[in-house]
């Protein structure tokens, strides 16, 4: 029975069949008048026949010049997946390795437009698939969610690991399961006889009003931060199988990567070759010993050093008064990535950064560095 609240708003328990029926009745009654003025819902019988994806010219994904030091295997695997007809791709790997950038470049190569959404903990099935919503003039209709709204283009789901996998993957699963899915929403909420919306697994040239069918250009390109292992394990085998999984690792040759970037960005002269170890390379390697991170925070650190001290020679250990530029960049972009490392890893990173920057053991800077790293350690 209805439990009136302080404001006399009835409460419906969604799992209770009686309450559910009562909700349907009440909503229908509330909008009966408006519904009567609505054009009759189309009641054409759904065609069972769905055509296969329109054959598209197979586009070869080139190595993108914006991304440096990406393992050729990444491109080989992307192209192999596409050739094999894998529609959906999952880019996973450590943070900052260029997964989002790669997804955008691939999407932009495959299609003229794409949409990117970033995973969030409060996404619901309503956001993803859709649900009933007031649409003005007292009417309530099914409003498609972001997935169905972007059924005509690549949809990048960035940081899939950030959303509640059960809530988001559940609806995604029905869409990716390659079976026709009937949604619990009708074309006319007030008319129990009206057609329920359906999601078709394959493109269909003349989809009816109640049918959502992907266009040939539709595909999902998702990214997952592999530090978030729990997210990986939450994905069922059946769903995992729908994606071509591409591991995007941090560059193997850190020194080669940094020298290439410094040359490309004209931060060092074209013929400058480092004599000894490059400070940033030592710092990056030390970090990777604790937790592998991709180029993104390192590049941010590099730009910071450059912005603070444009004359500093990036290929050699800094002068005494130049170390602070590195430390600023380290605190701004790298330190936050190291939350939760082990104490002994914190000590190792602190020692290596100190040595790479030629800081005296007992200096104020070295002490602060060690303290800040220990603060993040568990
Ligand atoms: N291999 C790389 N070469 C050049 N720039 C990179 C590389 N990897 C990342 N970046 C840069 O770092 C920034 C963040 O990368 P992003 O794609 O967001 O990484 P991820 O999604 O893996 O965390 C972007 O500006 C990107 O261009
Ligand atoms: Mg990303």
What domains are there in the chain, each with its CATH number?
Answer: 72-247 (3.40.50.300), 254-376 (no CATH)
Read off the pLDDT band of 52 (50, 70, 90): very low
Q: Where are the beta strands (DSSP E) in the chain?
A: 88-93, 115-118, 130-136, 139-144, 154-158, 181-186, 196-199, 211-212, 219-225, 243-247
How many angstroms is it from 296 CA to the middle of ligand 2? 10
Residue in the structure block whose two tokens are 């769903």:
239
Q: How would you write 265-325 as a 3-class SS string?
A: CCCCCCCCCCCCCCHHHHHHHHHHHHCCCCHHHHHHHHHHHHHHCCCCCCCCCCCHHHHHH
CA 152, 158, 163 angle in degrees (round to 5)? 110
Structure tokens at 309: 């001290």
- Cα–Cα dist 28/346, whole Å: 62
Q: Which two tokens stand for residue 135?
A: 């649409």
The crossing angle, in degrees rounded to 10, of helices 279-290 and 295-308 is 150
* Distance (Å) from CA 101 to ligand 1 centroid: 6
Ligand that comes closest to the CA of residue 300: 1
Closest residue by Cα to atom 11, ligand 1, is 296
- C-alpha span between 330 and 371 (Å, rounded): 14
Quick one: average pLDDT of 60-81?
A: 94
In tens, the pLDDT along 134-154 reads 988 889 999 999 999 999 999
Q: Which residue has the higher pLDDT, 352 or 165?
A: 352
Query: Which range (16-20, 178-182, 340-344) has the least confidence?
Result: 16-20
Do 291 and 337 touch, CB atoms closer than 8 A?
yes
Strands 181-186 and 154-158 come out as: unpaired
pLDDT at 96 over 80: yes
Q: Which tokens is 21 given? A: 């029926």
Which of 68, 92, 94, 101 most suits a substitution to test ligand 1, by most atoms within 8 Å of the C-beta? 101
Classify 341 as helix, strand or coil: coil
Atom number in ligand 1 closest to CA 67: 3
pLDDT per residue as tens digits for the range 19-41: 767 776 676 565 544 444 444 43
Residue of 170 and 35 predicted with greater confidence: 170
Tell me the average pLDDT of the chain. Answer: 85
CB 91 within 8 A of CB 106: no
- Please name the residue whose Cα sits nearest to atom 13 of ligand 1: 296
The C-alpha torsion from 114 through 115 and 119 to 122, rounded to 10°, is: -160
Ligand number nearest CA of 92 is: 1
What distance in angstroms lies between residue 246's CA and the mean position of ligand 2's atoms? Answer: 14
b vs e for 150-177, b when ≥16 Cβ sit within 10 Å of the residue's Cβ? Answer: bbbbbbbbbbbbbbebebbbebbebbbe
Residue 223 CA, closest ligand 1 atom number = 21
């Amino acid at each position: 029975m209805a439990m009136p609240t302080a404001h006399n708003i009835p409460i419906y328990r969604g799992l209770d069949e009686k309450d559910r029926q009562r909700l349907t009745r009440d909503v229908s009654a509330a909008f009966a008048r408006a519904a009567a003025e609505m054009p009759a819902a189309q009641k054409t019988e759904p065609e069972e026949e769905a055509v296969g994806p329109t054959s598209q010219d197979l586009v070869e994904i080139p190595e993108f010049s914006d991304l440096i030091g990406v393992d050729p295997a990444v491109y080989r695997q992307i192209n192999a997946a596409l050739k094999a007809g894998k529609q959906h791709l999952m880019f996973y790997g450590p943070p900052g390795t260029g997964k989002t950038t790669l997804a955008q470049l691939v999407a932009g190569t495959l299609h003229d437009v794409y949409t990117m959404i970033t995973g969030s903990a409060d996404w619901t099935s309503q956001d993803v698939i859709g649900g009933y919503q007031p649409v003005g003039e007292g009417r309530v209709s099914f409003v498609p969610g972001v997935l169905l709204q972007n059924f005509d283009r690549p949809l990048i789901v960035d940081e899939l690991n950030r959303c509640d996998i059960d809530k988001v993957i559940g609806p995604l699963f029905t869409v990716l399961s390659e079976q026709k899915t009937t949604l619990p929403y009708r074309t006319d909420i007030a008319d129990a006889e009206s057609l329920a919306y359906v999601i078709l697994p394959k493109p269909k040239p003349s989809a009816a009003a109640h049918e959502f069918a992907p266009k040939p250009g539709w595909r999902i390109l998702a990214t997952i931060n592999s530090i978030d292992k729990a997210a990986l394990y939450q994905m069922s085998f059946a769903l995992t199988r729908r994606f071509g999984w591409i591991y995007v690792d941090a560059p193997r040759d850190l020194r080669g990567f940094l020298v290439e970037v410094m040359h490309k960005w004209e931060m060092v002269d074209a013929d400058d070759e480092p004599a000894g170890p490059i400070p940033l390379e030592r710092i990056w390697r030390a970090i990777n010993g604790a937790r592998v991170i991709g180029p993104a925070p390192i590049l941010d650190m590099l730009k910071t050093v450059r912005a603070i001290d444009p004359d500093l020679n990036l290929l050699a250990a800094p002068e005494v008064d130049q170390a602070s530029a590195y430390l600023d960049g380290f605190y701004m972009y790298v330190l936050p990535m190291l939350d939760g490392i082990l104490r002994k890893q914190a000590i190792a990173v602190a020692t290596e950064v100190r040595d790479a920057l030629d800081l005296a053991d007992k200096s104020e800077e070295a002490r602060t560095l060690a303290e800040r790293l220990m603060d993040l350690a568990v």
